[in-house]
């Protein structure tokens, strides 16, 4: 019979393993930093969410070193790479590198040229002097295709940069490398980072720094993979030590892992079938949250010390299921918080909680040693001290409302360390990179309408720059000019015969031959009938990523353009844009509003979950016990929030999520410590709760040492809260005296 039980357990694990492998095969892991942000509630928040990680500033990889000469050699090496749109402010020395792609072919639509006789005379006069000094083959070829250097002028306009050296106050010289692919394409960003590192090693740069959104994403993925391995190993070793100390039997230590394995497998199965993409950090959070499922087998083990496992399971079943249901409610509240990442996290954890509880109650008992069932002795009532709970609750809530502050900084939600963000900001200030705070968004029902409105905004901004009211701005108009402007330029191109006549006269005047400019004539003729340039013209070209930084399709047939501002923004900028559909987006204010709205939403979900938990308690137990359990839970949550406020100052959303999790744990402790029973079963409950609290404290303390700020905040919140939860529930229960209450 015992062998049959183990065969059934092994079969169950095999089935779950197969389902897990199949589910993982369906899952595509992503590392988009916006996955843990909630849906926007305003237009500026919508732009913030839609373009997070896709603005021009985010496509920059900023490379730093104290060795300026070595950094210049690195710039030369990276300039030859197809992974970068530009490196530093240099125009490639090889002019033929610019003579390719849609931008060069459509250069006469993207930039103005003087097609008159006098205009061509001036252009050829300038080129004649240059050709006399520099008889380079590439220059001759370039001039023959573009005597006015319209393409080169366009390139310089798009990639202009300050001529002053880029060096920080601590003597770090900077190199700017703008990647072809957007920052959220981590595979391409990884290639770019690897290429920078490889070249730096060969050059001999030993103090290399790489900053930027793409670099942060690559680092985040590497950190998650390393943390998932290291933290899980350390936490597992710590849990093994705690469990062996509590039960002194290796068999129980091994069996304790079964509910966790089943929970993890079930979570993977659900995620695989519900979501096509799963954020990598969901697993880092999810496995940690599932760590609380170790409580379920511990309750069973502690109550099986003096009776058969089957009887122990029946004895604690109602309490365990009530605790599991209440904890599941808290996780589902997290899942319904609005952010896709939290939705995945909550679903993964809620599924695991249910499966772990059922595994502990209905599968584990069959695998434990059989013992003779112990007859129940007379039941004893449980004495709960309301005075202590009420005093703690009132004092904590009062102090919390009087002193607690909330941190609305979006960077607190970022998995990127604060020091790295501050260093990146210091680099950007030196570079004069586009503002990562202000931009102007223009929305229209079509690309043409949006581009025309953007051109109107650009005219007003240009006047502001000329009068010193704005340092500068970048828009996508150089890449996609208004249709009317392109048509005007197209119509200004003379006929082939007229152009040949003018070129012949200009060439003769400057000692050149008209035959040199046949490529120019051919391109001019082709331009007169070529399709006008649109955003779609750049699809699958090296400049596609750059175009996507300025233009994108939103939902509901929205076409959006973004203009990025440099330097300080005047207070009356909105007034300057009156009469247009343009909107100044303050990303800092938008992000703070987003976080505040998110917190309110989570607090509403918390309130709703507490009401549902109260209903579960009143239905599942006596009114007196239910009120005490709920009061103890609220007191624990309040004290935890107050302690975190004292430790960290302003609280962030991850602290709030930790407090939600603490509510579930505190409720479980209070439920088991308040169970009526004999002296023996009461002692077993205390043993189980002590083991649960110790294992959770150890696991989340290790999480609190994580290098990922979000995991640090969650781990520290739970480690602090579980201590309060255990102490408060234990102290408010009358102690045993002489083996009896």
| CA–CA distance, 319 with 622 (Å, rounded to integer) | 12
Nearby residues of 194 by Cβ (< 8 Å), 6 or more positions away: none
pLDDT digits (tens, 9 = 90+) for 653-709: 778 778 877 888 888 888 888 888 778 888 888 888 998 898 888 878 887 887 777
Model confidence band, residue 9 (pLDDT cutoffs 50, 70, 90): low
Give residue 738's pLDDT: 40
**Alpha helices (runs of H) in 90-146, residue ranges in sequence order:** 102-105, 107-110, 117-133, 137-145
Has residue 550 got a pLDDT over 70?
Answer: yes
**Whether residue 65 has pLDDT greater than 60:** yes
On the question of pLDDT at 415 being above 90, the answer is no
Render 298-335 in DSSP notation, one character per residue: HHHHHHTSSS-HHHHHHHHHHHHHHHHHHHHHHHHHHH
Check: pTM over 0.85? Answer yes or no.
no
Q: Mean pLDDT, to the nearest integer, of 194-217?
A: 86
User: With 80 as the cut, is the pLDDT of residue 719 above it?
Assistant: yes
Question: What tens digit of pLDDT does each residue of 96-113 get?
Answer: 555 567 888 999 999 999
427 CB contacts (<8 Å, ≥6 apart)? 62, 64, 168, 174, 211
Residue 114: per-residue pLDDT: 94
Task: Map tokens 């400019």 to a residue.
Answer: 517
Of all helices (H) and strands (E), which one includes residue 87? strand 84-87
Residues in the chain: 741
What was the pLDDT predicted at 39? 65
| Domains assigned to the chain | 1-30+249-369 (1.20.1640.10), 35-89+159-229 (3.30.70), 100-148+482-532 (no CATH), 376-420+587-741 (1.20.1640.10)
Specify the pLDDT at position 90: 42
Number of Cβ within 10 Å of residue 380's Cβ equals 14
CA dist list (Å): 738 to 45, 54, 173, 305, 382: 63, 68, 74, 20, 16
pLDDT at 683: 86
pLDDT at position 162: 45
pLDDT in tens, 599-608: 777 777 777 7
pLDDT above 70 for 249: yes
- The H or E element that residue 175 is part of is strand 173-179
Asked whether 56 and 551 are in contact (CB, 8 A), the reply is no
Q: Mean of the pLDDT values across residues 722-739? A: 74
Q: Report the pLDDT value the prediction gives residue 68, as an integer from 0 to 100.
A: 83
The CA distance from 109 to 489, in Å, is 6
Helix (H, G, I), strand (E, B) or coil at 86: strand
Pick from 585, 565, 546: nearest CA to 461: 565
Q: Is the pLDDT of residue 436 over 60?
A: no
455 Cβ contact list (under 8 Å, min separation 6): 477, 481, 482, 485
**Strand, coil or helix: 93:** coil
Between 696 and 502, the higher pLDDT residue: 502
Across 423-435, average pLDDT: 66
Give me the phi and psi of 94, to 5 degrees please. Answer: -80, 100
Does residue 24 carry a pLDDT above 80?
A: no
**Average pLDDT of the residues of the chain:** 79
**Nearest Cα to Cα of residue 309 among 355, 354, 367, 248:** 367
d(CA 159, CA 167): 20
Here the tokens at position 541 are 């070209």
pLDDT value of residue 381: 55
Band of the pLDDT at 449, cuts 50, 70, 90? very high
Distance CA 662, CA 284 (A): 18
């Amino acid at each position: 019979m015992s062998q049959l039980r183990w065969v059934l357990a092994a079969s169950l694990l095999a089935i779950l393993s197969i389902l897990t492998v199949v589910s993982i095969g369906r899952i595509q892991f992503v590392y988009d930093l916006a996955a843990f942000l909630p849906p926007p509630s305003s237009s500026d928040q919508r732009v913030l969410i839609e373009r997070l990680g896709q603005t021009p500033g985010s496509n920059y990889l900023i490379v730093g070193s104290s060795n300026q000469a070595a950094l210049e050699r690195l710039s030369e090496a990276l300039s030859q790479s197809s992974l970068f749109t530009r490196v530093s402010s240099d125009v490639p020395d090889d002019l033929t590198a610019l003579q390719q792609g849609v931008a060069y072919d459509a250069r006469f639509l993207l930039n103005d040229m003087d097609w008159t006789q006098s205009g061509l005379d001036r252009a050829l006069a300038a080129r004649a002097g240059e050709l006399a000094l520099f008889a380079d083959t590439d220059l001759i070829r370039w001039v023959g295709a573009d005597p006015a250097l319209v393409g080169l002028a366009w390139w310089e306009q798009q990639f202009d940069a300050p001529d002053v050296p880029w060096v920080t106050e601590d003597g770090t010289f900077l190199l700017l490398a703008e990647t072809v692919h957007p920052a959220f394409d981590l595979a391409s960003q990884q290639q770019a980072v690897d290429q920078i590192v490889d070249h730096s090693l060969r050059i001999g740069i030993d103090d290399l720094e790489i900053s930027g959104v793409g670099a942060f994403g690559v680092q985040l993925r590497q950190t998650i993979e390393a943390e998932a391995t290291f933290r899980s190993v350390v936490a597992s070793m710590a849990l093994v030590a705690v469990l062996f100390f509590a039960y002194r039997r290796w068999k129980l230590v091994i069996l304790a892992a079964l509910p966790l394995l089943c929970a993890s497998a079930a979570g993977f199965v659900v995620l695989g079938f519900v979501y096509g993409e799963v954020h990598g950090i969901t697993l880092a959070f999810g496995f940690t949250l599932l760590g609380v499922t170790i409580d379920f087998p511990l309750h069973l083990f502690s109550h099986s010390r003096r009776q058969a496992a089957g009887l122990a399971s029946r004895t604690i079943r109602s309490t365990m299921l009530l605790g599991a249901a209440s904890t599941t409610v808290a996780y589902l509240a997290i899942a319904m918080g609005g952010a896709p990442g939290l939705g995945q996290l909550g679903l993964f954890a809620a599924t695991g909680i249910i499966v772990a509880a059922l595994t502990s109650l209905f599968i584990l008992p069959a695998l434990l040693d059989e013992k003779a069932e112990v007859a129940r002795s007379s039941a004893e009532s449980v004495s709960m001290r309301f005075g202590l709970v009420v005093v703690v609750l009132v004092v904590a809530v009062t102090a919390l409302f009087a002193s607690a502050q909330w941190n609305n900084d979006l960077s607190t939600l970022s998995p990127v360390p604060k020091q790295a963000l501050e260093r990146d900001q210091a680099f950007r200030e030196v570079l004069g990179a586009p503002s990562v705070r202000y931009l102007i968004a223009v929305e229209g029902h079509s690309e043409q309408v949006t581009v025309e409105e953007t051109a109107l905004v650009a005219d007003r901004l240009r006047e502001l720059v000329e009068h010193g009211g704005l340092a500068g701005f970048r828009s996508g108009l150089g890449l996609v000019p208004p249709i009317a402007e392109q048509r005007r330029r197209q119509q200004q191109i003379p006929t082939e015969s007229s152009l040949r006549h003018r070129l012949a006269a200009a060439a003769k005047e400057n000692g050149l031959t008209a035959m040199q400019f046949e490529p120019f004539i051919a391109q001019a003729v082709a331009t007169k009938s070529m399709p006008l340039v649109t955003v779609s013209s750049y699809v699958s070209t090296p400049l596609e990523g750059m175009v996507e930084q300025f233009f994108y399709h939103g939902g509901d047939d929205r076409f959006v353009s973004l203009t990025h501002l440099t330097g300080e923004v005047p207070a009356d900028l909105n007034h300057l844009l009156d009469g247009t559909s343009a909107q100044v987006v303050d990303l800092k204010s938008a992000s703070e509003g987003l976080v505040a709205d998110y917190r309110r939403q989570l607090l509403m979900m918390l309130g709703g979950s507490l009401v549902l938990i109260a209903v579960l308690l009143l239905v599942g137990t006596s009114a007196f016990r239910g009120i005490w359990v709920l009061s103890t839970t609220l007191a624990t949550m309040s004290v935890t929030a107050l302690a975190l406020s004292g430790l960290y100052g302003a609280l962030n959303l991850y602290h709030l999520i930790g407090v939600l999790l603490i509510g579930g744990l505190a409720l479980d402790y209070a439920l088991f410590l308040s169970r009526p029973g004999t002296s023996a079963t009461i002692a077993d409950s205390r043993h189980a709760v002590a083991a649960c609290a110790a294992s959770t404290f150890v696991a989340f303390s290790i999480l609190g040492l994580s290098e990922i700020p979000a995991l640090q905040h969650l781990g520290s919140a739970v480690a602090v809260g579980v201590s309060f939860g255990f102490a408060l529930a234990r102290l408010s229960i009358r102690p045993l005296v002489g083996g009896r209450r």
